[in-house]
Chain A
Amino acid sequence: MSSTAVNDSPLIDKKGGRPKTSPSPWKPKKNKKEREDFPGLRSLNGKWGYLFVAPFIVMFIIFGMFPVLYSTVIAFYEFDPLAGAGGLSLEGQTFVGFENFIYLLQDDRLYTAIGNTFDIWFWSTFPQMVISIGLAAVLRNRFLKAKTFWRTILLVPNITSVLAVAIVFGQLFGREFGIINWVLGLFGVDNIDFVEDPLASHIAIATMITWRWAGYNALIFLASMLAIPDELYESASLDGASAWQQFRYVTLPGLRNTITFTLIVGTIGGLQVFAEPLTLAGTTDGGSTHQLLTLTMFLYDSAFGASSKWGYGAAVGIIITIIVLIVSLVNFLVTRKLASGEAK
């Protein structure tokens, strides 16, 4: 009791002091910025805030932040889980400096994994974006019958297990007896090997991802389309804009933020693809020519596959993180540039 009171007193002083002091020239600005959020219940002092976030922060530090930080330590060791003292101990492990990273950058599998991951990302992102926005445009229509039914049924793929879906699609994409090859055969296409052929296998994975997320993203786009005021459409329609022109000049600009958001979320998710390629390839190394090895599979294969090179696996994790950060930054810069370009 007494200890919390001691801890609290400087905070109370500061909170209590702030409104009374005469505002210096820069202060009102700062206050205004804070006002955008609710400044907080005035009658309540700081201790409750800390108390309320404490369980989350403590758990988050132990199970969220600590592993992330500690993996940067492990990446500098030749970490063999069977040697040493076990648990988190570094005892008995060999410090190797940047060696893991040097080997990693010379490892062909890294570049294969990066290429595969981005190829899958490409084939799963852009067709899906078109499908989702198209569906949302239909769903937005005020005169659509059975609205809730359509919205609900489109969300079904998203709630089901990635593994179960990967197993079903693996069968559907089968070389000899798969339904997809059968349908393609009706159009005169020869049987495609959706496991061994690099491009075909990437498209197979992309199909699973698109199937899972197209409906979900359609709902996201729909929500954002419903937020575009009707007046914009009415005046565009008055100006004689066709349905396509209204879509192009009213709907699409209104979706810009949502498209960015979906792209970033999709990219972070896309760089973590794991269960689908693992199931289709059947092995953690991504198949005979590593054609299905993604970055996450590479991490998993290094650390928990045939050999247990934890230091190496941790280094792969750090490379993945660097790629995610670069891609997010590029995403951010490109959209900002597009946004300012259109403003001109």
Chain B
Amino acid sequence: MTTLEAKPPVIKLPRRRRPKWQKVGLGGYIALTVMALLSMFPFYWMLIVASNGTEEVSKIPPTMIPGPRFFTVIENVYKVVDFNVALMNTVIVGFTVAVAQVLFSALSGFAFAKLNFKARRGLILFVIGTMMLPSQLGIIPLYMLVSGFGWIDTLNALIVPALVTAFGVFWMRQVIDAQVPNEMLEAASIDGAGVLRIYWSIVLPIISQSSFVLGLFSFLATWNDFLWPNLVLQSPGSFTVQVAVQQLKASYFIDYALNLGGAFMATAPLLLLFVFVGRRLVSGVMDGAVKG
């Protein structure tokens, strides 16, 4: 308000001053480069160890270039545990959970953001409140529940409890609240569109970008989950990638080449995925931050 009045006299001075605080020094680029290298190094290291074998890497100074043994190591990984089955299981679980979370979260997020019902305020506060609870609190009864349903050692044990999350609903409520204009909903409603039609033809198309990001995050979280799958999966046919990687440790001595080969196998698909969706994840994280 006051800035508007003050603008004409002020506007020229800061223009001249601007470059003074906006230069990126060499130090800035060095810091970013160091962080970027540190961020990528563990992945590179997986490849180095997996392709050279443990003995090569135990030399001092250590080898820093990939060696010839990569495929031998990967073969050894397959001898311990069938990674293809694990990859398939993980994709099935991850995809189902991602789609379900988006659908359920958008549905209730829409209701919490835009629909009028008596328990709305109470329910959303309740949902936010439960987000504070640590996730392992209920792990023992959840195990009992899942075993009561006969789901131990099946993918159902991973999928069904993960279909809805408080976080997803909260996130979708924020997104729909911010992105879907009320006037549009009112107008559609006056034109005679029912609430289902409004949800399907107006809300969903507007939030498609954000839905994609939420789906990605659910997929990544499922892919990387370890505690719960390790608990409920027992036979190689139902293993997910993380549990499969854990099997490599179970042999009597720690074979680092084998272990890092497995870690590489568990990570490479994500890195590949990241090449295509990295930018959207970045904007997803940053959008979420402003609202949070």
| Given A53-B112, A86-B148, A38 and B270 contact (CB-CB distance below 8 Å) | no
A88 touches B148 (CB 8 A): yes
In the bound complex, residues from chain A placing their C-beta under 8 Å from that of B31 are 134-135, 138
Point out the residues of chain B lying under 8 angstroms from A11, CB to CB: 117-118
Q: Does A123 contact B (CB under 8 A)?
A: no
State A38–B199 Cα separation when bound (angstroms).
16
Question: Does B24 contact A143, Cβ atoms closer than 8 Å?
Answer: yes
B136 contact from A56, A219, A227, A299, Cβ within 8 A: A299
Asked whether A324 lies within 8 Å of B132 as measured between CB atoms, the reply is: yes
Residues of B within 8 A of A279 (CB): 249
B92 within 8 A of A: no
Question: Could you tell me the distance in whole angstroms from the C-beta of B263 to the nearest C-beta in chain A?
Answer: 4
Residues of A in contact, count (CB < 8 Å): 117
Q: Is A268 an interface residue (CB 8 A)?
A: yes
- Quick check: A59 and B163 within 8 Å, CB to CB? yes
Stretch at the interface among A20-28, A96-104, A106-114, A315-323: A315-323
Count of B interface residues, CB-CB < 8 Å? 111
Q: Which residues of A contact B199 (CB under 8 A)?
A: 52
| Cβ contacts under 8 Å, A63 to chain B | 142, 145, 160-161, 163-164
User: Closest approach, in angstroms, between the C-beta of A113 and any C-beta of chain B?
Assistant: 13
Residue ID in chain B nearest A134 by CB atoms: B31
A153 touches B39 (CB 8 A): yes
Q: Decide if B145 touches A59 in the complex (CB within 8 Å).
A: no
A68 with B49, Cβ < 8 A, contacts A49-B115, A148-B282, A227-B290 known = no
B186 touching A41, Cβ below 8 Å? yes
Asked if A56 and B17 sit within 8 Å, CB to CB, the answer is: no
In the assembled complex, A157 has its CB within 8 A of some CB on chain B? yes
Which residues of chain B in 134-165 are interfacial with respect to chain A, using CB atoms and an 8 Å cutoff?
Answer: 134-142, 144-145, 147-148, 160-161, 163-165
Residues on B lying within 8 angstroms of A by beta carbon are: 3, 10, 13-14, 17-18, 20-24, 28, 31-32, 35-36, 38-40, 42-43, 45-46, 49, 57-58, 60-62, 104-105, 107-108, 110-121, 123, 127, 130, 132-142, 144-145, 147-148, 160-161, 163-166, 169, 177, 182, 185-186, 189-190, 195, 198-199, 220, 223-224, 226-227, 231, 241-242, 245-246, 249, 256, 259-260, 262-264, 266-267, 270-271, 274, 278-279, 281-282, 285-287, 289-290, 292
Q: What would 11 more interface pairs be, CB under 8 Å, given A46-B118, A56-B104, A56-B108? A: A37-B177, A53-B112, A64-B166, A88-B144, A138-B24, A148-B282, A156-B43, A159-B281, A164-B267, A176-B58, A214-B35
A-B contact pairs, 14 of them (CB 8 A): A38-B114, A46-B116, A49-B117, A52-B110, A155-B281, A159-B274, A160-B267, A161-B223, A167-B262, A179-B45, A216-B285, A234-B17, A272-B134, A324-B132
Query: 9 closest Cβ contacts across the A-B interface?
Result: A40-B116, A67-B138, A49-B117, A87-B148, A52-B111, A234-B14, A164-B263, A223-B289, A67-B141
A-side interface residues toward B, CB under 8 Å? 11, 14-15, 34, 37-50, 52-53, 55-57, 59-60, 62-68, 70-71, 74, 81, 86-88, 131, 134-135, 138-139, 141-145, 148, 150-157, 159-165, 167-169, 171-172, 176-177, 179, 182, 211, 214-216, 219-224, 227, 231, 233-235, 237-238, 243, 246, 258, 261, 268, 271-272, 274-275, 279, 282, 296, 299-300, 303-304, 310, 313-314, 317-318, 320-321, 324-325, 328
